[in-house]
Structure 1
Amino acid sequence: MPSRTQTTFAPPVMAASRWLEGVTFSADRPLINVCQAAPVDPPPMPMREAIAEAVLHNDAAHLYGPDLGLPELRAELAGKWSRAYGGAVAPAQVAITSGCNQAFAGAIMALCAEGDEVILPSPWYFNHHMWLDMCGLRTVALPTGPDMLPDPAEAAALITPRTRAIAIASPNNPAGVEYPPELLRALFEICRENRIKLILDETYRDFHAAPGAPHDLFTDPDWHDTLIQLYSFSKAYRLTGHRVGAMTAATAVLAEVEKFIDSVTICPNQVGQIAALWGLRNLDQWLAGERAEILDRRAAILDGLPAIAGRGWELLGLGAYFAYFRHPFDMPADQLAPWLVREHGVLLLPATMFRAEGDPRGQRELRVAFANLDRAGIGRLYDRLGDIPA
């Protein structure tokens, strides 16, 4: 029998990084890395100073803390969600986790037994699928349409007695698309009717293109019976290395998640939590500037698109950190992606890493994580892709 880890595939970003081995890039034609969705800059200096102050003078920063996170941080985030979504979120309904990936893992552990099913829209975030594999669960692919969004009726048709949740990400990874509020509400109602959970990963919510709340689910007085919301401080405050995420859910769910956290990390990173709390209290204006910059880069993707659209490229999805393309080449995507590194100095991911094995759509699609490129960098990316003969 294979071990739990042997039931799933190798981490895609790590696998793709190995395509760089033995490849050299000239100074006038450096590597363009659009592989991983992560900020490349450190946190802003005032936050780093707050971190240094805590490391030097706050003894508790170096000790174990509560399994579900610092009470002050849980309360601050509950207040933020209550204000942002116009609903009622209590501190006891918020848990702090070691990154958003642990939030997803904890939710799945709290909900599922071996052999259960979780519905994921395809293409999906690969770590979600990996964790389901390692838990002995069945990933049920929910097709998405030409707009990269799922049909609620198709989602409902996939539910069986073993289904425990529908798990979605909005803004989406990998396709970038933002789920309209009415679609999120429809999926929420389907989950409520079937007494399963809607797991909504909002890692990239701070970079949503629309002003205001991206959905109204927290305004439902019984939201906690159905909704599990996930969040990441990593993308908002450039805290990727500190591993700080969050889950907002029913207290009964968090009681189960507490068992998982206590057995894995015991508690979230204390220094990272202190930084996240400082960010929530002090960086709203700075974060608004970060959002504006990401939205400008999104606009640059659209502005430069004609340079490659005339050569057969098609933009399927766009938002947050991601642009999702259909490529025009006869070469399958899992061969094209490493070839692009060797021949054109572009590192991106093939959609075979986001779709079920054997799904032919994966061989025609590529994900570009553009958040670490400014407008000029996006222009250079289009120049490289446009130079490839179709």
Structure 2
Amino acid sequence: MTLTRTAATFPPPVMEARRWLDGVTFPAERPLINVSQAAPVDPPPTALRQAIAEAALTRDAAHVYGPVLGMPDLREALADTTCKIYGGDVRANDVAITSGCNQAFAAAIAALCGEGDEVILPTPWYFNHKMWLDMAGVESVPLTTGADLLPTPDAAAALITDRTRAIALVTPNNPAGVEYPADMVMAFAALAAEHDIALIVDETYRDFHSRSGPPHDLFQNPDWRDTLVHLYSFSKAYRLTGHRVGAMIASPALLAEVEKFLDTVAICPGQLGQHAALWGLQNLGQWLAGERDEILARRAAIAANMPKLEAQGWSLLGLGGYFAYLEHPFSTSSADLAPDLVRTAGILCLPGTMFHPEGAESGARQMRIAFANLDAAGISLLFDRLAALPAT
């Protein structure tokens, strides 16, 4: 029997983890702490919701098909914002709006890769990237990272073959949280250019970067269009996860190929979500800065609570964006430990095995904590519960 595209990959990890909740009750004195999914649960700010309602009521065009590559005003606004953040030259015709950042990645792979081609993914990898490559018939080539969870261009260079079409980086990283140094990202761009392959840089969590200034100088290279495919998400910035608004910045030539994919899959991104993203870019700069400050405060709370776990043998491997990536001290694999935590500690998190090739030993010792929806008190409670786990 022929293996279908969807059968070629694993079940969605977040959905699989939610099934661990079936039949489990959580007493009032120990409610569930859900740190499994990296998405804001609060709705957008009231002013943005009012802008969405206004668009729904007064803009007839918001209810019909729009341009495949997105609203011209939004493409222009994102190009301008990108230039302000990174410097360099980015124009509206370098921008495509997509139905979420996952679709941007899928579209990029469709435009770059053929059957049996290869894409290099640092491990631990973002599972949806791996899933799409599986379903596209593209080989995921794992790039092992060091103790600091940073990939190196030298290690990537050793993996490049005549079938390699791209290297895909996520920074701040999902799942590891680490922020890739600017000089390292630039070195990857130079490597990709040398081998005439694409460098895909997914910056879904860019707005919560801890460093001041631009995260990298990729757009300041006048030849960036020859190599770079940049991905972004409005979902995390403006709490628009349900509206599915992402973006790709790449050469107009590549976007012409991307347009074929997008037209076939969704015809156009949702209009109301695009109006929301545009309004956010134009009006919510100060609000977003406050959101960043809050995420950085929660990041600091993770660091402040780590001594509770370090005393029990845990280690903090990575911290940033929405994530803390931990190494646990138990003999049990994280694949078994994570579902057991639901029952024994009222914690839902994802095991490292979901972010590594099947059978990788490192994943068995790792856990991802998505902390963006926990305040400082919630983070302290989470760490108290983890520290109270009996040794095994």
Task: Give the TM-score, by structure 1 length.
Answer: 1.00
Paired residue type of 1:367:
R
Separation in structure 1 between the aligned mates of residue 152 and residue 247 of structure 2, nearest angstrom: 28
Paired residue type of 1:25:
F
Separation in structure 1 between the aligned mates of residue 262 and residue 250 of structure 2, nearest angstrom: 15
Separation in structure 2 between the aligned mates of residue 95 and residue 342 of structure 1, nearest angstrom: 44
Separation in structure 2 between the aligned mates of residue 257 and residue 269 of structure 1, nearest angstrom: 17
Paired residue type of 1:104:
F
Separation in structure 2 between the aligned mates of residue 309 and residue 40 of structure 1, nearest angstrom: 30
Residue equivalent to 1:348: 349
Indicate yes or no: 2:326 matched with 1:325. yes
Paired residue type of 1:47:
L
Q: Map 1:301-316 to 2 at 5 A.
A: 301-316=302-317
Residue equivalent to 1:33: 34
Paired residue type of 1:282:
N
1:154 positional shift: 0.5
Q: Map 1:213-224 to 2 at 5 A.
A: 213-224=214-225
Deviation track 1:3-54 (CA, whole Å, cap 9, x = no partner) reads 1000000000000000000000011110000000000100000000000111
What secondary structure does 1:388 align onto?
coil
Separation in structure 1 between the aligned mates of residue 159 and residue 176 of structure 2, nearest angstrom: 22
Separation in structure 1 between the aligned mates of residue 268 and residue 251 of structure 2, nearest angstrom: 19
Deviation track 1:297-326 (CA, whole Å, cap 9, x = no partner) reads 000000010011110000000001000000
1:212 positional shift: 1.2
Paired residue type of 1:294:
I
Q: Map 1:114-153 to 2 at 5 A.
A: 114-153=115-154
1:388 positional shift: 0.4
Indicate yes or no: 2:212 matched with 1:211. yes
Paired residue type of 1:35:
S
1:151 positional shift: 1.5
- Runs of 5+ consecutive residues of structure 2 not aligned to the other structure: none
Residue equivalent to 1:181: 182
Deviation track 1:171-214 (CA, whole Å, cap 9, x = no partner) reads 00000000000100010000000000000000000000001100
Residue equivalent to 1:171: 172
1:389 positional shift: 1.4
Residue equivalent to 2:386: 385
What secondary structure does 1:305 align onto?
helix
Paired residue type of 2:321:
A
Paired residue type of 2:222:
P
What secondary structure does 1:61 align onto?
helix
Deviation track 1:225-245 (CA, whole Å, cap 9, x = no partner) reads 000000000000000000000
Q: Map 1:278-293 to 2 at 5 A.
A: 278-293=279-294
Q: Map 1:58-73 to 2 at 5 A.
A: 58-73=59-74
Runs of 4+ in structure 1 displaced over 2 angstroms? none
Separation in structure 1 between the aligned mates of residue 105 and residue 152 of structure 2, nearest angstrom: 23
Residue equivalent to 2:299: 298
What secondary structure does 2:358 align onto?
coil
Indicate yes or no: 2:238 matched with 1:237. yes
Separation in structure 1 between the aligned mates of residue 114 and residue 152 of structure 2, nearest angstrom: 27
Separation in structure 2 between the aligned mates of residue 83 and residue 273 of structure 1, nearest angstrom: 20
Residue equivalent to 1:249: 250
Deviation track 1:35-76 (CA, whole Å, cap 9, x = no partner) reads 000001000000000001111111111110000000000000
Residue equivalent to 1:367: 368
Separation in structure 1 between the aligned mates of residue 170 and residue 37 of structure 2, nearest angstrom: 16
1:83 positional shift: 1.2
Residue equivalent to 1:357: 358
Q: CA RMSD in A?
A: 0.4
Residue equivalent to 1:376: 377
Separation in structure 2 between the aligned mates of residue 240 and residue 97 of structure 1, nearest angstrom: 13
Paired residue type of 1:251:
P
What secondary structure does 2:200 align onto?
strand
Separation in structure 2 between the aligned mates of residue 252 and residue 353 of structure 1, nearest angstrom: 35
Residue equivalent to 1:335: 336
What secondary structure does 2:96 align onto?
strand
Separation in structure 1 between the aligned mates of residue 221 and residue 165 of structure 2, nearest angstrom: 21
Separation in structure 2 between the aligned mates of residue 195 and residue 25 of structure 1, nearest angstrom: 54
Task: Give the TM-score, by structure 2 length.
Answer: 0.99
Residue equivalent to 1:5: 6
Separation in structure 2 between the aligned mates of residue 57 and residue 250 of structure 1, nearest angstrom: 34
Identity %: 65
Separation in structure 1 between the aligned mates of residue 153 and residue 311 of structure 2, nearest angstrom: 34
Indicate yes or no: 2:156 matched with 1:155. yes
Residue equivalent to 2:105: 104
What secondary structure does 1:303 align onto?
helix
Paired residue type of 1:345:
G
Separation in structure 2 between the aligned mates of residue 151 and residue 184 of structure 1, nearest angstrom: 9
What secondary structure does 1:3 align onto?
coil
